[in-house]
Amino acid sequence: DAGITQSPRYKITETGRQVTLMCHQTWSHSYMFWYRQDLGHGLRLIYYSAAADITDKGEVPDGYVVSRSKTENFPLTLESATRSQTSVYFCASRDIVDTSGRIYEQYFGPGTRLTVT
Judged by DSSP in three states, 75 sits in coil
Closest by CA to 90, choosing from 13, 16, 22, 36, is 36
CB-based contact 69:60 (threshold 8 Å):
no
Is 74 near other proteins (CB under 8 A)?
no
How many Cα atoms sit within 13 Å of 60 on the Cβ side?
16
Is 105 near other proteins (CB under 8 A)?
yes
Q: How far is the CB of 82 from other proteins (least distance, A)?
A: 23
Q: How far is the CB of 103 from other proteins (least distance, A)?
A: 4
The kind and range of the H/E element at 51 are: strand 42-51
Instruction: For strands 10-13 and 112-116, give the pairing.
Output: parallel
Is 54 near other proteins (CB under 8 A)?
no
Is 10 near other proteins (CB under 8 A)?
no
Is 102 near other proteins (CB under 8 A)?
yes
Find the part of the chain contacting other proteins (CB under 8 A) among 16-24, 29-37, 61-69, 72-80.
Answer: 29-37
Binding site for other proteins (CB under 8 A): 31, 33, 35, 40-45, 48, 50, 56, 58-59, 88, 90, 92, 101-103, 105-108, 110-111
